[in-house]
Structure 1
Amino acid sequence: MDVSRFPFDEQHCILKFASWTYHGFQVNLSVMTDSVDLSDFIPSSEWELMESKVQLNRLFYRCCDTPFLDVTARLVILRAPTFYFYTMIIPCLWLTILNLLVFLLPAESGDKISLGVTVFLSFSVFMLVISEKVPVAGTIPLLAFYLTVCMGMTSITIFMTVFILNLHHAGPHRKGVPRWLRILTYNVLSLVLCLKPKKGTFLCQCAKKAYEQNGDNSADDTESNYDISIVAGKQNDADECKQKIAEEWKFVAAVLDRFFFWLFLSGNVLYWTEFSEIQNMWK
């Protein structure tokens, strides 16, 4: 059986009736009609008979001059994919949509990784079900290939989610956002994805301001009360810069989260467009 297009496969069955002992002059075979007698045919709920033909063949071999007759019946059966469509393909489509929701789930919820792993395990269960339904053959079924691609995209989604969570929880202990990444997220992706950063000075301006205040105030340390105010000002500026570092990393993570959502959504739409066998079922 050719199950490469499962569950939209079409099987061609050849039934040959002949005698290797008696030649055509001893046993004469003939056909009454070009089609198979379907008077005793019992319809199947899984297969649909599309074509049935009967042909009489007269062959001559090198051994002898007598003909050898055979009657060949050709049956074409088409699998009914409706059951697999509603029990496997549609649930896989919903799982794909749930996989995209991983990028829309807020990083503060703490369930982004759990959702991705759950979707991955669901695809694994469907893969086990298909392996039990499909006979072992040399070709990979279409549905199994689709599930493999979905599992691969889910794995990449988990990797991207881990990367985004690391950016979101970078915190003030890390350095500021690199200039090239800030330009990419603040000036390019945020405009395309309609995400606006919070108003306020950038981290470099904040650090420069704190440095200038610290340099100017450090020269005048004669009075103790003023020294205390300098220390307090330094601490406030340091806390403000740390807060801005955390806010910038969170905004970068949010922009990349939205970017990966649209990227994976486009990839899924293109893949479903190539999955043209689903559309052929309704024709």
Structure 2
Amino acid sequence: MYALGYAPTRTSSDQAIVFDCQHSVCLECFKDYAISSLNSRNFVFHPTIGYTLGCLEQCPNTLIKDLHHFQLIGKVNYEKYKKFAAEEYVVNNGGLLCPTVGCGCGLLIDDKETNRKIVCPECHTTFCRECKSVWNDEKPCCLDRTTLKENYLLPLPDEKNQIMQTHVYVLHEWMDFNFVWNPKAYGGVDRIQIPSDQIWKPDIVLYNSRRENAIKTADNKCTLLFSVLKDADGDYQITTRSKAVIRYDGQVQWNPPMIYKSYCSIDIQYYPFDIQNCTMKFGTWTYHGLLVNLIFITEDIPIIEQGWDLEDFQPSIEWEILNLRAIRHEKVYQCCVETFIDLTFTCTVQRKPLFYIVNLIVPCVNISVLAVLVFLLPSDSRKKITLSISILVALLVFYLLLIELIPPTSLVIPLLGKYLLFTLVLVNLSIILTIITLNVHFRRYPTNLLPKWLHRFLIGFLPKILSMERPIKLTKTSADYNNKKFSSSLSSCKDHLVDETIFSDLNCMEMVESNTKTSIDKKNKNISSTTNDYQHLLSSFYTDKRRQHLARVTADHIDYIAEQIKNAKVEKEIAEDWRFIALVLDRLFLIIFAFVSVVGTLISLLKAPSIYNQKKPVDRYCYLYYPPVNDSIWAKRCVTELNKR
């Protein structure tokens, strides 16, 4: 559009403007160029020349020195030019412009003047010198009314490293009266987009970001504010380069996306039925509350129960949100006398325990049941110790798995860890008691005798309480009765054999023969043949001179046999007593361990508060800053939540 080039020889000097760089432009093109630059405020202010333009080719040091040339743009535009020139002069000389729309009066203020309260002599508006806002004696001066909106996308607490990662949109809104214009004067343009790195922005940072670089400063204030920061490879301030939207009235909107990694102190006391409270604390780093007043985007109140916008929220497979709050704090630090303002966003999340119930708790309960069932295994199988050791090894494997899931802390033992510890004690006790019952089961006479008091308690008293009955004693059977009768017969015959006349007593022989045949035939055929030989030997004693000696030897043998039968009976009775005591102990330990296991499991797993928490997770459709009030479905679902807000 612009006819730019060297002036033709046929063109007179009053029909073109020639720059110092020898570039020239016709008057009509210069007029269009000046009006376009004026509307976009592309003029350049030079301290000695004033408000002027340069060469169209952007040559250096080629500014128009004769400002009367700008009268070519017309009377209206020239008045605008003089107005803009005056504003630039005021601003570049340390003055300020009245922020009232339609006024714009320039005010030159002495540098020694410290009063922030300014009264415009043109429109008589009282405003603040620093923030350009209308003066209010009750509220502090606000350089920027910044509002922070969190668009919560995905909460992901990492309990191992105690980090909460959030994907958010950080919405800022503030007033900058340096960007005020009349849309009618600029073709109806009421908003523009400017890169954020070319305008002033509030230096809002995440205080509890886990990044080590944030604490490397010598300033006392910085050390106090960021003394808790740790390294988590997260950015504590916004690094995304996004454009800001500026309205004609000076309102600036800047909505950069950001991924934050904030420190979240994980409370594992009731893991895996735990509820975590994670916070994100935002505030300005260099501006105190008298310069930057942080408020919420919806309402200027200190606490908002629904302080997060969940429009683009993506639910987590491990956590569910119970509450979202936003709190505004005013705090005075030891380093400074001014009040610093921060906005703290709190997220309360509850873990979904189904995965841990199926993969951790159910196997642990199974191990606890197996530790009880050890006492049902018979001692004769000799596999009780093997089973107990196998259960112990399985439990230790679960311990190693739990260590990998929870953060290393010595402040508290998690709920699942307490239950595993309880099960470990239970398994160890079952191993110890199994060893004791096996030792009792295999005790024998005469090395281990049963005291009478123990016999009365463990055989006479305790089985009745445990509903146990001992099998019928062998002493009450007919076979044992015959053995007893046979032993008494042998003892009686021994006494008669000592006397020389014993063999003349036929009744004795008949008694021996009768009792011998009755008892021996029922127990062993070999003893019957021995009895026949014995009778034959007795008959030969009538003629043998050595009958007295043989009779005594025979009597000793009979005495030995009787003693062996008696000892075998006693040994068998004692062994049966010990076996029965082992059965009684197994039954006693089974009942005790079953009771302790059930009670311990219920106490360990049912004391988590989240189990009894009836609060439902938040409905993301009810957490919107700009709700669809005309939507009947939304109104039906969220009218209660809306009333709370």
* SS of residue paired to 2:407: coil
Pair 117,220 (structure 1): closer, same or farther in 2 beyond 3 Å: farther
Counterparts of residues 205-224 of structure 1 (less than 5 Å): 222=498, 223=551, 224=553
The 2-side partners of 1:105 and 1:73 are apart by 58
- Measured after TM superposition, the shift of residue 175 of structure 1 is 3.4
Asked whether the 8 Å contact 1:107–1:165 carries over to 2, the reply is: yes
**Does residue 248 of structure 1 match 2:577?**
yes
The one of 283, 290, 293 aligned to 1:28: 293
How do 1:67-78 and structure 2 match up within 5 A?
A: 67-78=339-350
Aligned CA distance change for structure 1 residues 62 and 191 (closer, same or farther; 3 Å): closer
1:175 aligns with 2:505: no
Does residue 19 (structure 1) correspond to residue 292 (structure 2)? The answer is no
Q: Does the CA contact (< 8 Å) of 1:221 and 1:227 recur in 2?
A: no
Moved more, 22-31 or 244-253: 22-31
2:387 paired residue number: 115
1:37 is the counterpart of 2:367: no
Aligned partners of 1:266 and 1:65: how far apart in 2?
A: 63
1:69 deviates by 1.8
Amino acid of the residue matched to residue 146 of structure 1? Y
- Is 1:49 matched with 2:342? no
Q: Which amino acid aligns with 1:248?
A: D
Task: Tell me, yes or no, if structure 1 residue 83 matches structure 2 residue 355.
Answer: yes
Match for 2:417 among 123, 144, 149?
Answer: 144
- For the Cα contact (< 8 Å) 1:54–1:71, is it kept in 2? yes
Q: Which amino acid in structure 1 is aligned with residue 360 of structure 2?
A: M
Q: Deviations over 1:243-272 (max 9, x none)?
A: 111111101111011101111111112212
Q: 1:247 to 1:64 in 2, by over 3 A?
A: closer
Q: What is the RMSD of the two structures over their aligned residues, measured on CA atoms? A: 2.6
Q: Is the 8 A contact 2:277 2:348 kept in 1?
A: yes
Secondary structure of 2:470's match? coil
- Cα distance, 1:96 vs. partner? 0.9
Higher helix proportion, which one? 1
CA deviation after TM superposition for structure 1 residue 61, in Å: 5.6
Whether 2:560 is the aligned partner of 1:231: answer yes
The corresponding residue for 2:599 is 270
State the alpha-carbon separation in 2 of the partners of residues 221 and 81 from structure 1. Answer: 88
In structure 1, distance between residues paired with 2:427 and 2:446: 31
Residues 137, 40 of structure 1: alpha-carbon distance in 2 compared, 3 angstrom cutoff: farther
SS of alignment partner, residue 136 of structure 1: coil
Using the TM superposition, give the Cα deviation of residue 65 of structure 1 relative to its aligned residue in structure 2, in angstroms.
6.5
Per-residue displacement from partner, 1:139-197 (whole Å, max 9, x unpaired)? 21111111011111111110110011011011234233111111111122111112212
Equivalent position of 1:206 in the other structure:
none
Matched residues in 1 for 2:582 and 2:342: separation?
A: 72
Q: CA–CA distance in 2 between the matches of 1:254 and 1:174?
A: 20
Give the one of 253, 258, 271 matched to 2:587: 258
The answer for the alignment partner of 1:200 in structure 2 is 473
Cα-to-partner distance string for 1:97-156 (whole Å, 9 max, x where unaligned): 111111010001111001111111111011100000111122211111110111111111
User: Against the structure 1 CA distance between its residues 83 and 64, is the aligned structure 2 distance closer, same or farther, given a 3 Å change threshold?
Assistant: closer
Assess if the C-alpha contact under 8 Å between 1:24 and 1:68 holds in 2.
yes
2:458–2:584: 8 Å Cα contact kept in structure 1?
yes
CA distance in 1, matches of 2:409, 2:598: 29
Residues in 1 aligned to 2:346 and 2:437: alpha-carbon distance in whole angstroms: 58
**SS in structure 2 of the partner of residue 29 of structure 1:** strand
Residues 58-101 of structure 1 deviation map (CA, whole Å, 9 limit, x = unaligned) = 33567766542211111111111111111111111111111111
3-state SS in 2 of match to 1:70: strand
Q: What does 1:117-132 align with in structure 2 at a 5 Å threshold?
A: 117-132=389-404
Q: Residues 62 and 242 (structure 1 numbering): CA distance in 2 closer, same or farther, change over 3 Å?
A: closer
- Aligned-pair identity (%): 32
Would you say the 8 A contact 1:52–1:74 is kept in 2? yes
Q: Does 1:281 align with 2:611?
A: yes
Partner secondary structure for residue 28 of structure 1: strand
- Offset of residue 279 of structure 1: 9.1
Q: Which has the larger radius of gyration?
A: 2
Contact 1:31–1:55 (CA under 8 A) maintained in structure 2: no
Counterparts of 2:335 and 2:362 in 1: how far apart (Å)? 59
In the TM superposition, residue 216 of structure 1 has moved relative to its aligned partner by 7.4
Aligned partner of residue 294 in structure 2, secondary structure: coil
Q: Which range is displaced more, 117-126 or 217-226?
A: 217-226
Q: Is contact 2:368–2:426 with CA below 8 Å preserved after alignment?
A: no
Alignment partner of 1:93 is 2:422? no
Per-residue CA distance 1:201-258 (angstroms, 9 max, x = gap): 89xxxxxx9xx96997875562344433222111111111111111111011110111
- Against the structure 1 CA distance between its residues 271 and 279, is the aligned structure 2 distance closer, same or farther, given a 3 Å change threshold? farther
Residues 280 and 230 of structure 1, relative CA distance in 2, 3 Å threshold? farther
Please report how far the alpha carbon of residue 280 of structure 1 lies from its aligned counterpart in structure 2 after TM superposition. Answer: 5.3
Q: Considering Cα pairs closer than 8 Å and 6+ residues apart, tell me whether 1 or 2 has the greater RCO.
A: 1
Cα displacement (A) at 1:277: 3.7
Scaled by the length of structure 1, the TM-score of the pair is 0.88
> Partners of 1:253 and 1:175 in 2: how far apart?
14
- Give the Cα separation in 1 of the matches to 2:276 and 2:416: 17
**Aligned positions, number:** 276
Distance 1:216 1:255, change over 3 A: farther
The answer as to 2:438 corresponding to 1:165 is yes
| Structure 1, unaligned runs of 5 or more | 203-208
Which contiguous aligned blocks of 4+ residues in structure 1 show a shift greater than 4 angstroms? 60-66, 212-221
Task: Tell me, in whole angstroms, the C-alpha distance in 1 between the residues paired with 2:363 and 2:567.
Answer: 52
**Counterpart of 1:156?**
429
Q: Is the 8 A contact 1:3 1:137 kept in 2?
A: no
